[in-house]
Amino acid sequence: AKQTGRNRFQFFTNSLQEHANNLMEMEQDLRLALEQNQLEIYYQPLVRAQSGRVTGVEALLRWHHPTQGMIPPDQFIPLAEDTGLIGPIGQWILETACRQVSQWHQQGLKFYLSVNISGRQRDLGLDAELLSSILERTELAAGQLVLEITEGMLLDNSDETIAWLQSFCDLGIHLAIDDFGTGYSSLSYLKRFPIDTLKIDREFIRELTLDNEDALLVEAIISMARSLKLRLIAEGVETAEQRSALFRLGCEYLQGYHFSRPLPADQLVNWIQAYQP
């Protein structure tokens, strides 16, 4: 038994070591990714439920790894956060996406830009000064930018976090809570933080037309959002049935594969030009 135990331990340390090596390799690769232009921003349209028109786009990061192909953000953003690389990467995302959307505005395509930010960026240089200089450089109006944050970021409920977010609102930037309903059940932050949009997590949308309980939950979220005067977006709308169910329930804005997957910038323009609401 002792022998097995030791072997098992041996196996365990080996795989831990392997895991650590992989992470270190990936960290090195991620450092290079930014310099070597391997990162790309995809854009997914957000549409008005009633008219079907595009009102915004969400910027979603993609990594074209030279040997491993496309690596989805879920697989490297946590690493970028742990290593602090989310600082420069996050800044690049903001700068690039603001410039792109500002260009689209000049071409007559009018929609706002939504960008995901990580709480780690607070200590890595993301502040009102940086944001206002990015907006100025890229000539994007502050009112056309939404920052998506998660409930987890508001958990500390600290004065620093509130002041940080408030300083963005003071510039005219809007804030949205992402993955709403999956995080922490205390809703008191909705009063404390300067938020104007909720994005209902796709978990609730997935079984919307099958599961009556999810429909009740979505209905409750919609009526809460309405009384708090918050804008509501449903994520992960994949079918026409989900779309009409959400419309019936009174959800104003929709996002999901039913409309479009996230697309590279040039393909998004093609999609919009061909799109019939």
Q: Is 222 in the site for ligand C2E (CB under 6 A)?
A: no
Contact 256, 205 (CB under 8 A): yes
The window from 10-18, 68-76, 165-173, 220-228 that contacts ligand C2E (CB under 6 A) reads 68-76
The values of phi and psi at residue 100, to 5°, are -60, -50
- Binding segment for ligand C2E (CB under 6 A), chosen from 57-65, 160-168, 211-219, 223-231, is 57-65
Residue 45 touches which of Ca ion, ligand C2E, none (CB < 5 to 8 A by kind)? none
72 binds ligand C2E (CB under 6 A): yes
202 backbone dihedrals φ, ψ, rounded to 5°: -70, -15
Question: Closest approach of Cβ 98 to Ca ion, in Å?
Answer: 16
DSSP state of 253: E
Contacts of 204 (CB under 8 A, 6+ apart): 181, 214, 217, 218, 221
Contacts for 62-71: CB closer than 8 Å, 24+ residues apart: 62/262, 63/30, 63/33, 63/38, 63/39, 64/38, 64/39, 64/40, 65/29, 65/33, 65/38, 66/38
Q: Which is nearer to ligand C2E, 1 or 111 (CB)?
A: 111
256 touching ligand C2E, by CB under 6 A: yes
Q: Is 152 in the site for ligand C2E (CB under 6 A)?
A: no
In the complex, residue closest to ligand C2E by CB: 256
d(CA 14, CA 136) in angstroms, rounded, equals 51
* Coil/strand/helix, residue 158: coil
Segment near ligand C2E (CB under 6 A); pick from 53-61, 136-144, 169-177, 209-217? 53-61
In three-state secondary structure terms, 14 is helix
Asked if 41 and 100 touch (Cβ cutoff 8 Å), the reply is: yes
Among 56, 87, 119, 236, binds ligand C2E (CB under 6 A): 236
Residue 148 as a binder of Ca ion (CB under 5 A): the answer is yes
Q: Using the rule CB under 5 A, which residue among 43, 117, 179, 246 binds Ca ion?
A: 179
The answer to the question of residue 60 lying near ligand C2E (CB under 6 A) is yes
Which spans of this chain sit near ligand C2E (rule: CB under 6 A)? Answer: 44, 59-61, 72-74, 77, 93, 116-118, 178-179, 202, 236-238, 255-257, 262
